[in-house]
Amino acid sequence: MAKPKDSETRRTGSKGRQILHYRIDSDHWEYKEETGNDFGRDCILELSENDEWNNHKIEGQIKGTKSLVLINNGETVSFPMPVKTIEYALGSQTAFLLFVADIENQAVYYQCVQDYFINNLDCFDRLDQGTINIRIPIIQKLPGDDSMLQEWARTTYVDGPGKQLRRYDGKRNAE
């Protein structure tokens, strides 16, 4: 009987999850690993503000890599994300982030998928492809200032998953 084989992909992914968990500031984030069937979401980060839980969360897909792809003179990380995961993310009312963990440097780069598509509307036209490269400014890195993560945790997205996707601003659209 053949025994199951381990793989470099599994080891790299596991290391990526460990690095993210380690890099998140536990003074105000609770890291929750997803279990069961994986539909694209690997974790949920819940934000504690003033020692209170207000149901502000981020959903995340975690990808570990040993070969970080930098573009734009090293100012941007480029990472391919499967379209099926992107579509899942675009349908979420909670901020859905791609976390790319650089195994070699123990850094985690992050990008909100909904905001990325809102700011790059042409990406909606490429959803018929197998993958789309998500670009992450290198300043969006853990450890570091996580105020952007906190803002995303407080954000709600509506009217997705298509081009009408937007951040909810508390106002109703004119009828």
Number of structural domains, the chain? 1
Task: Identify the pLDDT of residue 80.
Answer: 97
Tell me, yes or no, whether 22 lies in a domain. Answer: yes
pTM as predicted: 0.92
Tell me, yes or no, whether 144 lies in a domain. Answer: yes
Neighbouring residues of 38: CB distance < 8 A, sequence distance ≥ 6: none
One-letter-per-residue 3-state SS of 98-121: EEEEECCCCEEEEEEHHHHHHHCH
12-63: per-residue pLDDT in tens? 999 999 999 999 999 999 999 987 666 789 999 999 999 999 999 999 999 9
- Six-digit token string for 174: 């004119």
128-175: per-residue pLDDT in tens? 999 999 999 999 999 888 999 999 999 999 999 999 999 997 765 544
One-letter-per-residue 3-state SS of 156-170: EEECCCCCCCEECCC
Bin 118: left if φ > 0, else alpha if -120 < ψ < 50, else beta: alpha
Tell me, yes or no, whether 137 lies in a domain. Answer: yes
Tell me, yes or no, whether 23 lies in a domain. Answer: yes
59-106: per-residue pLDDT in tens? 999 999 999 999 999 999 999 999 999 999 999 999 999 999 999 999
53: CATH: 3.40.1350
Tell me, yes or no, whether 134 lies in a domain. Answer: yes
Task: Identify the pLDDT of residue 40.
Answer: 83
Tell me, yes or no, whether 99 lies in a domain. Answer: yes
Domain membership of residue 89 as a residue range: 8-158
Task: Identify the pLDDT of residue 144.
Answer: 87
Tell me, yes or no, whether 74 lies in a domain. Answer: yes
Task: Identify the pLDDT of residue 114.
Answer: 98
Tell me, yes or no, whether 168 lies in a domain. Answer: no
